[in-house]
Structure 1
Amino acid sequence: MLERMQDKKLGTFFGIFIPNVTMMFGVIIFLRLSVVTGTIGFGQVCLIYLMSLALMLITSASTTMLASNMEVGAGGVYYIIARSLGLKIGGAVGLATFMTQILTISFCTTAFSYTIVSLFPSLSLTLVEVLTLILLTVVSSYSARAALKAQGFIMLILMIAIVSIIVGTTQNVPNPPVDAKPFFDHTFGFWQAFAVLYSALTGIEAGMALSGTLKNPSRSLKIGNPTSLIFVFVTYIVLAGLADHYFTRETLMSDPFLFRKISWPLGIVTVGVCAATISSALGAILGGPRILQSLSQDKITPQIFARTYGPLKEPRYAIIFTFIISLSLVLSTDIDQIIPIYTMICLINYGLLNLTAFISNKINAPSWRPTYRLPVFLPLIGFIMCAMFMFMISPAWGFTAITVVGLIYLLLRRNEYASEISGIRRSVWFWLMRKGLYLLDSEEEDISTWHPTLMVLSISPSSYPRMVKLAKTLTDDNGLLIFGVVLPTSWNTSDRLSWNKKALISNFEEQKVKCLVTTHTSDSPYQGFINLTQTHGIGHLEPNTMMLPITSLEDINHELLGLIKTCYSTNKNLLIYYPQQSNDISTHFNKKTTSKKVIDLWWNSEDRASTDLMMNFIEILSESSFWRRSKIYLNALAESDDQEQSLNDFLKGLVKLNRLKIKVRVHQTDKDSCEIENILDRSDKEDVTLQVLPAYDPTHSDEAYLAKLHNVIQKSQTMSSDCLFISKYDTIDHGMLLK
């Protein structure tokens, strides 16, 4: 059964060469080539076709290289781009390409019908359009093989018409016209001519769209595309050269129907025009539904269009839908003004194909194993040529085409299925990350390049939603947030670890928290925290700040001291989050409606390094969307009126110089009063209070340090706000930002 189906698939000649050539031999060869040659000259026509051929040969080679690395299915350009760049970009290009096929069907059907009615004026134009479209639909829905055989017959007619022009140029030379007016006005120049003539070589997608019906897609594309391009190129050059040699420039410039008038036998070119339009329409009605079929198979469009019938699996529902849309355009729309976007979308497709080939070749992932390879930068040249041609032809239409594809892409981002195929995007990010990591590792970090890389250490981060919110706002715009979660050793199985990590990631996604998640197993949570602090990271890209939640005084023990010592020895800052004791730790920050949120931070002149770090963190918080409208106070304690005034002036000058949105409050207190008690008296109605955590000093005893920590945390128990204690242990001078 499989062998019989394979026998019914198409080879290179019928599957690629004929569809491509019949698409390229359009009305331009009969109705525009001569007048363009007369207007800009044979030399410029040759240059245009050489540029077009170079681009299309590069694109053809890029397509072949991509196809030789995958099993190419139905959809051609769409299938290759979607499997390379992902369904979102591929879907946008696929839908745009499908619309160009609809436009081609409608335009060519109308052009064919006008030609028939000009020969038989008694016929109704609408009736001819409808009957032509029905006939094309029936032929294409019955069998692609039958349709391609019909295209083979059409190609024979086209070749006869071309030969008749060649014969006619040597026998039927008309007299130069008297007072003939040029067909194009004086503004018609090189790039306007390029826009007209280049479209004659935009036909390789016709065969690519049938890639699912080919016996050997990669081999057929490798042979069929370049041979069809070269064949068409030679034909156009020969016809333009004969016209330039045998006819005067005035004759060529003034008469777009010259080839019809001089063909021998007379009238055969009219048949050729009919054949050219009907072949282009038939090629589009073969390719368009198969692009729609492939889109439906990927669940981008309704899946009913993916249903197939017959031994060659014809997508008849997709064909019927294509017929309905084309018929509505034929009967109700004048599409002449829309046609330029067709060329632009073709250039977008070709540009993306070349870009995909360049990226794949450059990254050279282990899965990249094409049987046909190109020099690395050749596809990049093709991409640059596509971009240049688009905007040289028409910047307005170029931007319009990009906008259309971009809007479709934005719509597809909402499609839940559009992320099932990521293509090479992950490889691209890995390649960029690899380059960046090596660069970061080769340079020393200083204050001008410092960014908060925050790791939150916890056994259950979802239990602390306010801490998660704080961590998020500290890293949202310019930092990196990592959650290091320690799990019991009994959970150290691949299935359970994987399930827990996915659950954590899902929870953070629901909260719209962008972060990385890593898990570690240990019988002791603090030993797990120490291991993560010591080992997590790649090269210099490692956490520079650790955050730890503490919920009770019992947490202040030698295990915590071990973590603090590890932060000290590894030069990593430490943030200890102590939630408000009168409020459930699982609740979120209140959304105040009558008053603004309030943040207090306390100046500590004895540990200026940690205070500078705290000031930088508060600047980051103040720029976040959640805290942007908060009232932020920089508090300080003074022992006398003179000290109060001096400190107030100094802090206000510091805030103004650094453009910080902070209000300064200096509180006068007794010389012998306890600092922490003063903070308690004046920070009891805030949402968050930031304080300096007593720094670890290895010259002092562990017991004395733990007692000091215990005293600070114990005093903070009565506060009605969450507390964030900060200790600086890194080697960065954060005061450099505070001039």
Structure 2
Amino acid sequence: MGERFVVVPVGRGDGEGVVSDPAPETETQGAAAGGQRDPDAAVPILEYSREPNKYVVPVRDGRRKTRKVGSVAEEEEEDVDDNNALREADEDAPGDGNPKENSPFINNTDNDKANSYDGKNMALFEEEMDSNPMVSSLLNKLANYTNLTQGAQEHEEADDEEGGPKKKTVKSPQMGTFMGVYLPCLQNILGVILFLRLTWIVGTAGIMESLAIVGMCCTCTMLTAISMSAIATNGVVPAGGSYYMISRSLGPEFGGAVGLCFYLGTTFAGSMYILGTIEILLTYIVPKAAIFVAERKEDEVDALLNNMRVYGTCCLALMSLVVFVGVKYVNKLALVFLACVILSILAIYAGVIKTAFEPPDFPVCLLGNRTLQNQNFDKCVKTEVVDNVTVTTQLWGLFCDGPELNATCNEYFNLNNVTVVQGIPGLTSGCKTMQDPTSLTFCKNVVGHSQCVNVFMAVSLPDNMWSDYGPLGMLVEKKRQPAVLSGDTSRDGYLPYVVNDIASFFTLLVGIYFPSVTGIMAGSNRSGDLRDAQKSIPIGTILAIATTSFIYVTSVVLFGACIEGVLLRDKFGDSVKGNLVIGTLSWPSPWVIVIGSFFSCCGAGLQSLTGAPRLLQAIARDGIVPFLAVFGHGKANGEPTWALLLTAGICEIGILIASLDAVAPILSMFFLMCYLFVNLACAVQTLLRTPNWRPRFKYYHWALSFLGMSLCLSLMFISSWYYAIVAMVIAGCIYKYIEYRGAEKEWGDGIRGLSLNAARYALIRLEEAPPHTKNWRPQMLVLLNVDTDLAVKHPRLLSLTTQLKAGKGLTIVGNVLEGTYLTKDTEAKRAEQNIKASMAAERTKGFCHVVVSSNLRDGFSHLIQSAGLGGMKHNTVLMAWPGSWKQSNDPQSWKNFIETVRETTATHHALLVAKNVDSFPGNQERLGEGTIDVWWVVHDGGMLMLLPFLLRQHKVWRKCKMRIFTVAQMDDNSIQMKKDLQMFLYHLRLDAEVEVVEMHDSDISAFTYEKTLVMEQRSQMLKQMQLSRTEREREIQSITDESRSSIRRKNQSARSPSRQASPQAEEDEAQLIHDRNTASHAALSDKAEAGVHMTWTKEKLFTERNRGREPNSNVAVRDLFNMKPNQSNVRRMHTAVKLNEVVVNKSQGAHLVLLNMPGPPRNRGGDENCILFAQPER
């Protein structure tokens, strides 16, 4: 850092506004400016309207190193920031490209300076062009900055015709919102839970509670997507996926906690998808492939889990091998898996529509009100008549001890009839009851046994409206179906009834369902491939969530309206011969859903095993979790080998659990923790008013993030309170480990000792870990002056500090008293009390520091070097402009100011200098509609953009609009510069008007030449004469008055009517002006004119200075009036005059103007001229 700034408000209360004219120029220029100029008019760098409430702030960048200011570079991620673009701009654009000047008014013998800079309009900043390039030269690079596409190198590289490796061409990102974000999110959100568990959730929880579950989960993800959209629009989205986007925007602590939770969630998601794949394979595709077969009904669950473990482990090994060997094939098959998902969804909706007029035939057999598994019998009857002979059926044999009609049967079997119910009654079943009267009652008495079969269409919607939870092993029974209960229920578990394999309750269903709404970060994972990530991620993600929410809500209602309740609660489809329940609804065939869901789960598992290792590798390479460093290594082509190995190991843990219903809540916890941190971080960033937090997403509000965070926390405890506690402990440990790694914990003595220890540890951590440039904010050192009564001279300087800081960050108010501390200790304490009182009055929160020093210059130097403690040090110095330096009795007053500027440059601090600071608005004032004008002349690292943003956060400046002006040279493309500047502001999320001002490379006017000459003559005179202070001031004034009279005479007689003079004519004109100037001063040395009363003579000069060397004195006087101005000084004065003109013309009505301030010369011999360049004499 090393920016220097001048803050210049215009005085108020002067009544009518007066604007000083710019400097007089040639006739053509004067006419273009609108009239004659007064040669006596002073030409400061900035002349503004004196109307009330008009404030002007010229801003100066004085850095000696090219370094980005954090609050403007926050949108770039740490590893791929825009410092590279800036360095390229510095190398490609050493100057503005204008040809060398050839002016007759410049002493062209100064070859060194003439060769150091091309052009004269920006000569004021020529010494700094090597480190701070012109805005016009690097604006295009800043505006076109983009993220860098990241991706693993493929294993196979095509060889060229000569056998060498063929270099790949890096293509620019071209993916749009639909293909890059919307479809990937759709594929990841719709998955295994929709196909395997949603029907069971609807049947168990009922339509109303299912809608509540879906609503809570979808609302949670929608709020998280809004927060993520704010992150995505808070700067240029870095390539590398969600972790890079979140960690680079929210910091390492939040980023690491979110990243590891996201990693664990993605890894367990791989386990869930693999378990879903095996469940579909063994239950619905090839049931005979099961290795473990249960001999007893009570062993069926254990057999299924063992099969899941064996096949799941094999499937995990196969998928890991595919990911290790051929990642590119996984990416290429992504579209195939996506097509399977979309085709399956379309098949479901087609089947629903078909049920309205032709329901499919999937009968469900009921015994009384109990649902039967029909894999082991083909007819839902107890007995049947064959050739007039009543025979028993397979169903009879399942409940009786023999096939005989007089065999002993189960009591419940004897007391209840068998009923056939349509499993898919259809969409219109909720409107009316459709019964088959011919088969409604089919009963026949056979040897004392009643054989009755009822076939009818159930009324699904009312039956499925409410929940039907139950414990493990509870029979699945039809609601409102009459049945005769038996006293003996001991053998019900061994009979072919459909039962609950797990205990069901509302909170369990929430945990099982939530993974079906995850996957919202799939689009942000492709951030490096998006054409415009800031636009595509918010739109694509929110649209994908809205689409999937619509699918889930309509599915809940349609499933409840079309499918019989007992079939909905039949998780594995045992009542419909082992068919997938949702498959019975699809059209044209149940196999469409079965095959589609199988490949969908396979693809999702491969995507999880592909993404999770890369996420872990990115975290490890960041170095925020040291013990994970080994997983940052991989193969030569970048593939995360070790991370894949760890991911497969964690994934195996989920597979060994074996139950999809048990893994889903674990997965939910980690994703909920991830979403909670995203929402929490966004809310905290907004409430803390972090300068780099400026999301462009207009629908974001911190209350939405807070609501999303609360909903995530609630869902965690609703799903499983003990899982929630474990997940929070893991996430909290990660956060604190990243935050305090390496710090040793100690306990203080009492509350004060605890506070002191906390402060000490915080300071130590700040010192060891300096803030990243994106977290940069101004930490102020305010250099305040007191009067003879030790009262604060400029209290409005504290008002400006308050408006810039808004109570955030560090503020140190410093003051220097001249003397020794032994004699000034009482005054120092009283001055400190007065300053603290002024700080309280101006609501400035910070610290006060009064230093007693032998001189002011050393005192301010000590403050700048040593103020602060440890890492809590200032990075910006604010001081008042020495407005009375010309009238000061101390000839060193201006030198103190120049040295302060030079020392802030050496310490790489930003410097803000407030001119007319007493005219700044107080904290209680409210400025109306107006503008804050920024004149961006040279690149300052971003402070010019940051200052108006910070001021507009305060209620004083809130209604002011921002305008950006930049200066174009003759060979610059103004139209393209404006487009580039608008794009740059778009990346910075700043709303401002843009204007490019052209400064023509005009000839240096006679006024500029004469003004520079007067400045150098006075400087030389002060060095040669040893007069008293009063005499010196009178002599300076006399020389100034005479020079102005000379300028008036020459402007009236020596102006050329044409600007197209030949080079010889220009030289003649220059010589003429110089001869007249010399003759005027020679006459002044011989005799005094009537209107000028000189206070010295040649004799006095000889006597007072260097007695005994009269000949040398005569030579010195003669040289004084025969001197020519230095070429560099003329160019600098020309820049000051021209810049003053354009600012006056464009920013007269602005409330505030910010402008780069020229720094002091590297050669200390020109210090006396530096302050004149910033504010020429009147």
Letter of the 1:131 partner, please give it. L
Partner of 1:505: 870
Partner of 2:360: 171
Q: Give the SS at the match of 2:523.
A: helix
Partner of 2:951: none
Structure 1 residue 403, shift from structure 2 partner? 0.7
Whole-angstrom CA distance in 2 between matches of 1:63 and 1:171: 44
Structure 1 residue 133, shift from structure 2 partner? 3.0
Partner of 1:689: none
> Which of the numbers 82, 102, 108 marks the counterpart of 2:273?
108
Partner of 1:200: 516
Partner of 1:34: 199
Whole-angstrom CA distance in 1 between matches of 2:876 and 2:855: 15
The answer to which of 241-250 and 420-429 deviates more is: 420-429
Whole-angstrom CA distance in 1 between matches of 2:269 and 2:183: 17
| Distance 1:80-1:498 versus aligned 2 partners, 3 A rule | farther
Letter of the 1:155 partner, please give it. V
1:250 aligns with 2:566: yes
Q: Where do 1:408-427 residues align within 5 Å?
A: 408-415=734-741, 419=769
Partner of 2:414: none
Q: Give the SS at the match of 2:709.
A: helix
> Which of the numbers 63, 70, 82 marks the counterpart of 2:247?
82
TM-score, normalised via structure 2 length = 0.35
Partner of 1:276: 600
Whole-angstrom CA distance in 1 between matches of 2:593 and 2:778: 51
Partner of 2:589: 265
Asked whether the equivalents of residues 224 and 679 of structure 2 are also in contact (C-alpha less than 8 Å), the reply is: yes
Structure 1 residue 215, shift from structure 2 partner? 2.8
Partner of 2:667: 342
Asked whether the equivalents of residues 23 and 203 of structure 1 are also in contact (C-alpha less than 8 Å), the reply is: yes
Partner of 1:226: 542
Return the structure number with greater relative CO, CA threshold 8 A, min gap 6.
2
Asked whether the equivalents of residues 323 and 330 of structure 2 are also in contact (C-alpha less than 8 Å), the reply is: no
Asked whether the equivalents of residues 87 and 420 of structure 1 are also in contact (C-alpha less than 8 Å), the reply is: no
Letter of the 2:183 partner, please give it. I
Partner of 2:680: 355
Whole-angstrom CA distance in 1 between matches of 2:548 and 2:203: 20
Q: Where do 1:332-481 residues align within 5 Å?
A: 337=662, 339-374=664-699, 376=701, 377-415=703-741, 419=769
Partner of 1:550: none
| Distance 1:166-1:188 versus aligned 2 partners, 3 A rule | same
Structure 1 residue 171, shift from structure 2 partner? 1.9
Structure 1 residue 150, shift from structure 2 partner? 4.2
Asked whether the equivalents of residues 507 and 718 of structure 2 are also in contact (C-alpha less than 8 Å), the reply is: yes
1:49 aligns with 2:214: yes
Asked whether the equivalents of residues 217 and 514 of structure 2 are also in contact (C-alpha less than 8 Å), the reply is: yes
Letter of the 1:399 partner, please give it. I
CA deviation map 1:237-287 (0-9, x unaligned): 333222211223233223443224454413333223312322321332343
Partner of 2:48: none
TM-score, normalised via structure 1 length = 0.54
Asked whether the equivalents of residues 616 and 631 of structure 2 are also in contact (C-alpha less than 8 Å), the reply is: yes
> Which of the numbers 289, 299, 317 marks the counterpart of 1:121?
289
Whole-angstrom CA distance in 1 between matches of 2:218 and 2:172: 33
CA deviation map 1:274-327 (0-9, x unaligned): 1232232133234323422432342225567667999xx975447644554356
Asked whether the equivalents of residues 165 and 259 of structure 1 are also in contact (C-alpha less than 8 Å), the reply is: no
Whole-angstrom CA distance in 1 between matches of 2:569 and 2:511: 17
Partner of 2:1025: none
**Structure richer in helix, relative to its length:** 1
Asked whether the equivalents of residues 38 and 253 of structure 1 are also in contact (C-alpha less than 8 Å), the reply is: yes
Letter of the 2:612 partner, please give it. G
Structure 1 residue 356, shift from structure 2 partner? 2.8
Whole-angstrom CA distance in 1 between matches of 2:268 and 2:260: 12
1:99 aligns with 2:264: yes
Structure 1 residue 494, shift from structure 2 partner? 10
Whole-angstrom CA distance in 2 between matches of 1:285 and 1:261: 31
The answer to which of 257-266 and 96-105 deviates more is: 257-266
Asked whether the equivalents of residues 21 and 232 of structure 1 are also in contact (C-alpha less than 8 Å), the reply is: yes
CA deviation map 1:75-99 (0-9, x unaligned): 5443344234321232122112111
Asked whether the equivalents of residues 234 and 249 of structure 2 are also in contact (C-alpha less than 8 Å), the reply is: no
Asked whether the equivalents of residues 11 and 216 of structure 1 are also in contact (C-alpha less than 8 Å), the reply is: yes
| Distance 1:254-1:105 versus aligned 2 partners, 3 A rule | closer
Q: Give the SS at the match of 2:543.
A: helix
Unaligned ranges ≥5, structure 1: 441-454, 460-479, 507-513, 521-538, 540-739
Partner of 2:335: 149
Whole-angstrom CA distance in 2 between matches of 1:117 and 1:322: 28
Asked whether the equivalents of residues 485 and 518 of structure 1 are also in contact (C-alpha less than 8 Å), the reply is: no
Whole-angstrom CA distance in 2 between matches of 1:127 and 1:308: 24
CA deviation map 1:653-710 (0-9, x unaligned): xxxxxxxxxxxxxxxxxxxxxxxxxxxxxxxxxxxxxxxxxxxxxxxxxxxxxxxxxx
1:210 aligns with 2:523: no
Structure 1 residue 351, shift from structure 2 partner? 2.3
Structure 1 residue 363, shift from structure 2 partner? 4.6
1:134 aligns with 2:458: no
Letter of the 1:259 partner, please give it. I
Structure 1 residue 500, shift from structure 2 partner? 5.2
| Distance 1:186-1:348 versus aligned 2 partners, 3 A rule | closer
Partner of 1:59: 224
Asked whether the equivalents of residues 867 and 874 of structure 2 are also in contact (C-alpha less than 8 Å), the reply is: no
Letter of the 2:558 partner, please give it. L
Whole-angstrom CA distance in 1 between matches of 2:711 and 2:631: 35
Asked whether the equivalents of residues 851 and 859 of structure 2 are also in contact (C-alpha less than 8 Å), the reply is: no
| Distance 1:153-1:68 versus aligned 2 partners, 3 A rule | same
Whole-angstrom CA distance in 2 between matches of 1:495 and 1:271: 77
| Distance 1:4-1:309 versus aligned 2 partners, 3 A rule | farther
| Distance 1:434-1:306 versus aligned 2 partners, 3 A rule | farther
Letter of the 2:537 partner, please give it. L
Partner of 2:188: 23
Asked whether the equivalents of residues 38 and 249 of structure 1 are also in contact (C-alpha less than 8 Å), the reply is: yes
Structure 1 residue 332, shift from structure 2 partner? 6.0
State the Cα RMSD in Å. Answer: 5.1
Whole-angstrom CA distance in 1 between matches of 2:875 and 2:169: 52
Whole-angstrom CA distance in 1 between matches of 2:655 and 2:643: 18
Asked whether the equivalents of residues 351 and 382 of structure 1 are also in contact (C-alpha less than 8 Å), the reply is: yes
Whole-angstrom CA distance in 2 between matches of 1:321 and 1:261: 40
Structure 1 residue 214, shift from structure 2 partner? 2.8
User: Number of residue pairs matched?
Assistant: 483
Q: Where do 1:696-711 residues align within 5 Å?
A: none
Partner of 2:619: 295
Q: Give the SS at the match of 1:41.
A: helix
Structure 1 residue 402, shift from structure 2 partner? 0.8
Q: Give the SS at the match of 1:175.
A: strand
Whole-angstrom CA distance in 2 between matches of 1:400 and 1:112: 28
The answer to which of 257-266 and 382-391 deviates more is: 257-266
Partner of 1:325: 649
Structure 1 residue 66, shift from structure 2 partner? 1.6
Asked whether the equivalents of residues 66 and 370 of structure 1 are also in contact (C-alpha less than 8 Å), the reply is: yes
Letter of the 1:132 partner, please give it. M
| Distance 1:220-1:518 versus aligned 2 partners, 3 A rule | closer
CA deviation map 1:605-650 (0-9, x unaligned): xxxxxxxxxxxxxxxxxxxxxxxxxxxxxxxxxxxxxxxxxxxxxx
Whole-angstrom CA distance in 2 between matches of 1:495 and 1:209: 50
